[in-house]
Chains A and B, each alone.
Chain A
Amino acid sequence: MRSSAYTLAVGYVLLGLVTLALFAAPLWYAWRVTIEDSRTEILQEDTQRFAEVFRQRGAQGLAAFIDERVAMQIAAERLLLLSDPDLEKLAGNLPEWPAEIPAAPGTYTVTMARGGQPVVVRLVRSSLPGGYNLLVGRDQILFQPLEQRFWYGLAAAVAVLSVVGMFGGILIRHAVLIRMDSISRTVSGIIQGDLGRRLPTGSGRDEFNTLSLTINRMLDQIEQLVHGVRNVSNAIAHDLRTPLAELRSRLEELSVGRPGPDETFAEIEGAVADVDRVIGIFNALLRLAEIDTGARRSGFVEIDADELTAKAVEFYLPAAEQKGISLFFQGQGGLALRGDPVLLAQAIANLIDNALKFTPAGGRISVETSARDDGGIELAVADDGPGIPDAEKPRVTERFYRSDAGRGTPGVGLGLSLVGAVAKLHAGSLVLEDNDPGLRVRMILDGRAGMGPEPGTAKAPSKKATISVIARLAPFVAPSHRRFE
């Protein structure tokens, strides 16, 4: 199987070999040239020395000198031959004048048989006065082990490089393949519909781990979206079908039964109300979709969260009064926030609306705004109504979710999910807590830019801190609340 790791390993080995060749070739060349030159020089020096002897002592003297050297084996590695003008041997360790040597003086490299083996030798031929010829040479065989060692060394280097390279390649390929296989298997599983699967991740910070973590985050997001879509389609099916079914049966009864005008008009009014309910659900869904795209972040402006909340409290005050509920507001004052004023106003209104819906007559709702230690802003709406069981808390921000207590009350079950979506748009979160008794909903918003890290996991300030914060607040009470306190 060809893999990118295999190609990579082969590539590295080839690159290593080319580097080795580039390193060895000039070395080899320099070595050869230097050795040849110095060898030739030595031979020429020898030749000159012999010529000097010839000049001083004549042919017989040189022959004796050469024989003496050969006999003393000083010239063991030397090839020496002195001949008369007819190329007859006078002295030396060569048996006869080699036929391969050209007639003119000079330096030659020839192959001759020595000891039954062909040997490469380097010879300097010179002419002495009186027609005598002198051959001084050196047996190349002496250098052959050195050359051989060089080639062996090079071959060994190539072999080691190849083996290590291939072995490393296989190891890398193996490691890469294991990671890739696990990614590919997981992704295949996800494609087949198992959205809960995640890539295995370690604690390392290598590229694969980073990639896996990123892919996992993407998968989380996709799963959440798909889950949301699934929930929404189920919920739409339920919440839109109900009024549509009522509408249909109403109209069908009208066309079949043909009642009198009074009843007909009453039914038509009922039908219009049914349609309005459907439109209301559609509008809420569209608003949610609009928020979820995050496109509204471009329209963020500076807002005073306190002012916005005070206005919402004031807006709901008469309604609370009518239900016999006391509604309080305690703000910190000057809570600047970058956000979408329309959506935040709606989110705050939804929170209060929700509390009003579930708080019985004689109950109490308190709305508080405060600055958080992390620079964010917290908006809490607490009531002393029936509250929400812990098991249901995570679900109430889901689209269309309505607690058992909520069934039968008006509304489409999108209120808190809208608040959650608005909080998320402002890089915040929604926390539901027990108010003992009742429910306390805290909307946490990032006051700085609305696009920083999510402080959703941040813990609420400790009780002590909360008390000290409240003590610092200039209590703000909506102007008319005393009338029904």
Chain B
Amino acid sequence: MKVLLVEDNERVAKFVAKGLREAGHTVDHADNGRDGMFLAVSEPYDTIVMDRMLPGQIDGLAIIEALRKSGNLTPVLILSALSDVDERIKGLRSGGDDYLTKPFAFGELLARLDALIRRSQGSTTETTLAVGDLRMDLLSRKVTRGERVITLQNREFKLLEYLMRHVDQVVTRTMLLESVWDYHFDPQTNVVDVHISNLRQKIELAAEPPLLRTVRHAGYMMTAGG
């Protein structure tokens, strides 16, 4: 995947670019708003990582607004040191697709970026999800593994749906909190882990191959490969 990174802090840019390249992406880097704007309009990218505050006349939000006005729908992940809820809303309203507050863990950035790329490619009209022999019918809200019917509570269903929609992608705890519970804060205790382990007990019996992997320092990943 081709990623444009617009970030003026040299160290952060180097760290992010290196990580993205290691994850198999091609990275172009611009360290100011003018160059970032030029690259964004002249080259096709799969996704853009945009620092919000940039030196020079053009800031990150202005670039995103300009892109959206010209009909460019490339998914954009905003990086910002401003953590206010209002700032976040402002960022998303300007046309950004996701918002990540600095400082961040690289795993979080990568997971969110993958989710963005996937979202822009995949269709959301499917009515059934499947990972290995685990199947979820979104209309009848029925979940089965092989022949076994799995009963889930409402929130467990939402959690599993989110994980299955992001199959083969790392999903972080923060992403789960935001998407499944709509919580935009850190609950400090390992509540998400407990939810995951409860879910895991339901979808993975002792004899069945594992589907839900814990990814160290990052989060979880649903995968049929085990």
Q: Which residues of A contact B (CB under 8 A)?
A: 275, 279-280, 283, 286-287, 290, 295-296, 299, 311, 314-316, 318-319, 321-322, 342, 345-346, 349, 353, 356-357, 410-411, 415, 479-480
Contacts and interface: CB of A to CB of B under 8 A. Distances in A.
Contact of A319 (B103, B182, B190): B190
A478 to B, nearest CB: 10
Interface of B: 83-86, 101, 103, 153, 155, 181-191, 194-195, 198
Given A296-B86, A314-B155, A479-B153, A353 B181 contact: no
A283 B83 contact: yes
Contact of A349 (B155, B187, B195, B198): B187
Nearest to B187: A349
Contacts of A321: 194
Given A279-B103, A318-B191, A319-B189, A349 B153 contact: no
Nearest to A279: B103
A356 B189 contact: yes
A353 B187 contact: yes
For the residues of B in contact with A, the DSSP-based class is loop
Contact of B191 (A283, A316, A342, A345): A316
A345 B183 contact: yes
A282 to B, nearest CB: 9
B85 A296 contact: yes
20 contacts: A279-B103, A283-B83, A286-B83, A286-B84, A287-B83, A290-B84, A296-B86, A299-B86, A315-B181, A315-B183, A316-B191, A318-B194, A318-B195, A319-B191, A345-B183, A346-B185, A349-B187, A353-B187, A410-B188, A479-B153
B85 to A, nearest CB: 5
Contacts of A316: 191
Contacts of B185: 287, 342, 345-346, 349
Contacts of A411: 188
Contacts of A357: 189
Contacts, number: 60
Nearest to A480: B153
A314 to B, nearest CB: 6
A299 B186 CA distance: 21
A342 B181 contact: no
B8 to A, nearest CB: 21
Contacts of B153: 479-480
A279 B102 CA distance: 9
Contacts of A315: 155, 181, 183, 187, 191, 195
A314 B153 CA distance: 11
A183 to B, nearest CB: 39
Contact of A353 (B85, B189, B194, B195): B189
Nearest to A414: B188
Contacts of B86: 295-296, 299
The 6 nearest A-B residue pairs measured at CB: A318-B194, A346-B185, A319-B191, A319-B194, A318-B198, A322-B194
Nearest to A276: B105
Query: Taking each of B182, B185, B198, which has the highest tally of chain A beta carbons within 10 Å of its own beta carbon?
Result: B185
A115 B89 CA distance: 109
Contact of B186 (A275, A280, A319, A480): A280
Contacts of B84: 286, 290
B16 to A, nearest CB: 16
A359 B181 CA distance: 24
A287 B188 CA distance: 15
Given A283-B83, A286-B83, A345-B183, 11 more contacts: A275-B103, A280-B188, A287-B83, A290-B84, A296-B85, A299-B85, A299-B86, A315-B191, A319-B189, A415-B188, A480-B153
A277 to B, nearest CB: 11
Contacts of B85: 290, 296, 299, 342
A318 B189 CA distance: 12
Nearest to B84: A290
A345 B185 CA distance: 9
A352 to B, nearest CB: 9
A52 B187 CA distance: 126
A346 B189 CA distance: 13
Contacts of B191: 315-316, 318-319
A444 B191 CA distance: 26
A406 to B, nearest CB: 13
A299 to B, nearest CB: 7
B194 A349 contact: no
Query: Taking each of A319, A322, A479, which has the highest tally of chain B beta carbons within 10 Å of its own beta carbon?
Result: A319
Nearest to A283: B83
Query: Taking each of A315, A321, A346, A411, which has the highest tally of chain B beta carbons within 10 Å of its own beta carbon?
Result: A315
B195 A346 contact: no
B195 A283 contact: no
Contacts of A410: 188-189
Contacts of B101: 283
Contacts of B194: 318-319, 321-322
A295 B84 CA distance: 11
A75 B91 CA distance: 112
A192 B68 CA distance: 56
Contacts of A479: 153
A119 to B, nearest CB: 97
Contacts of B183: 315, 345-346, 349
A286 B187 CA distance: 16
Nearest to B191: A319
Nearest to B193: A319
A321 B155 CA distance: 16
A283 B101 CA distance: 10
Query: Taking each of A342, A415, A480, which has the highest tally of chain B beta carbons within 10 Å of its own beta carbon?
Result: A342
Contacts of A346: 183-185
